[in-house]
């Protein structure tokens, strides 16, 4: 009787275990086979911006290597913070990721009431791209031949020109405010819901200029739709060797750059995080991705986990000081 009862118990236990295993989320099962289904990655800006310019080729290479889709979910608004909030609240099951940017280390100093905490609610996985900021103009509205003539015109006409940005509190916005501070000029800020819409209006002549990440502007510069006046930093960019850098134009401290990285919601299993880092790194190092990065004047920093986390902490501190020094405010 006891033996029969034990055998029945065993069968019941195995049935319960099978049912339990089947009801568990995939992250609690064999993560070594990740991904076993499509992965969603929130991009917190509309299509056509800098984040999207790296997210989509990354998605294509990810699918090619893993056989599973990396679905881009564009959630623009509030300088990228709306999408960050959505990502922070997504299920930590290994199948939800977030591609953020430098903007998200500026936001805590600009937005008093964010519905997420970058350090508490999201886990940094890998830094995938770094590009300098570039000053671009509509050549019909700003027909100056070079930066010197451009700056002279801006100084003589305070408030006449305007610049578009990806939104208040983004690197585009802060780059514009820093430029005004360092050149002692005044240019009106016009925030958009992402770099894509701002670029469309720049090309259409609805705004005069932008301080954009080179990733989203590169194709338009090469196509002649907009003109690059200057790249930030101490050296020229290899993709645009004819465009002078800020240091050679008398602005040695104008060193704004835009970077992009991937996070996961807090609570995402460590094994899923490790697999995501591995597959994203592989996707960024394919010949196709390398060509896209090079064409957009970008580098692949390849900082992961603790290195990326330390980088984020430095950026948070840096941008907090920049916001205070520039007096930048949300429009």
Bigger pLDDT: 29 or 246? 246
Instruction: Provide the pLDDT for residue 117.
Output: 97
Q: What is the pLDDT of residue 32?
A: 63
Work out the percent of the chain whose per-residue pLDDT is above 90. Answer: 81
Neighbours of 116 (CB within 10 A): 17
What is this structure's pTM? 0.83
Coil vs helix vs strand at 41: strand
Q: Which fold has domain 37-130+258-326?
A: D-Maltodextrin-Binding Protein; domain 2 (3.40.190)
Contact call for residues 230 and 246 (beta carbons, < 8 A)? yes
Per-residue pLDDT tens digits for 133-161: 999 999 999 999 999 999 999 999 999 99
Mean pLDDT of 64-93: 96
The reported pLDDT for the residue numbered 8 is 55
Q: Where are the domains of the chain?
A: 37-130+258-326, 132-249
For the stretch 285-325, pLDDT in tens is 999 999 999 999 999 999 999 999 999 999 999 899 888 88
Mean pLDDT estimate for the chain: 90
H runs (alpha helix) in the chain? 2-23, 50-66, 81-88, 103-110, 118-121, 147-156, 171-183, 195-204, 214-222, 270-284, 287-295, 305-326
- Tell me the torsion sign for CA atoms 211, 82, 312, 286: negative
Structure-model confidence comparison of residues 160 and 13, the more confident one: 160
Computed from CA positions of residues 104, 240, 293, 285, in that sequence, does the dihedral angle turn out positive or negative? negative
pLDDT at 26: 45
- And the tokens for 195? 């770099």
- Which pLDDT score, from 0 to 100, does residue 13 have? 40
Decide if 37-130+258-326 and 132-249 have a common fold. Answer: yes
Which CATH code of 3.40.710.10, 3.30.1330.60, 3.30.1330.40, 3.40.190.10 fits the domain covering 132-249?
3.40.190.10
The predicted structure's pLDDT at residue 325: 83
pLDDT tens for residues 214-248? 999 999 999 999 999 999 999 999 999 999 999 99
């Amino acid at each position: 009787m006891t033996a029969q009862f034990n055998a029945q118990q065993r069968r019941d236990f195995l049935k319960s275990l099978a049912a339990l295993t089947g009801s568990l989320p995939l992250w609690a099962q064999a993560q070594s086979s990740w991904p076993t289904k499509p992965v969603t990655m929130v991009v917190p800006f509309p299509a056509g911006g800098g984040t999207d310019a790296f997210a989509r080729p990354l998605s294509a290479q990810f699918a090619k290597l893993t056989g599973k889709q990396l679905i881009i979910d564009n959630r623009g608004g509030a300088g990228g913070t709306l999408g960050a909030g959505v990502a922070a609240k997504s299920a930590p099951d290994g199948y939800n990721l977030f591609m953020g940017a430098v903007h998200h280390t500026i936001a805590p100093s600009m937005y008093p009431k964010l519905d997420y905490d970058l350090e508490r609610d999201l886990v940094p996985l890998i830094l995938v791209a770094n590009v300098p900021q570039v000053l671009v103009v509509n050549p019909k509205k700003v027909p100056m031949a070079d930066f010197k003539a451009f700056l002279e015109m801006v100084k003589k006409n305070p408030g006449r020109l305007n610049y578009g940005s990806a939104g208040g509190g983004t690197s585009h916005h802060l780059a514009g405010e820093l430029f005004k501070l360092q050149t002692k000029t005044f240019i009106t800020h016009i925030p958009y819901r992402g770099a894509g819409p701002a670029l469309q209006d720049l090309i259409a002549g609805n705004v005069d200029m932008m301080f954009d990440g080179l990733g989203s502007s590169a194709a338009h510069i090469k196509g002649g739709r907009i003109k690059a006046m200057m790249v930030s930093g101490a050296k020229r960019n290899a993709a645009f060797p004819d465009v002078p850098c800020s240091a050679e134009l008398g602005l040695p401290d104008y060193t704004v750059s835009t970077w992009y990285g991937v996070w996961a919601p807090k609570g995402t299993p460590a094994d899923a995080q490790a697999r995501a880092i591995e597959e994203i790194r592989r996707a960024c190092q394919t010949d196709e991705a390398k060509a896209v990065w090079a064409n957009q004047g970008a580098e692949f920093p390849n900082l992961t986990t603790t290195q990326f986390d330390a980088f984020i902490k430095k950026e948070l501190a840096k941008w907090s000081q920049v916001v205070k020094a520039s007096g930048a405010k949300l429009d």
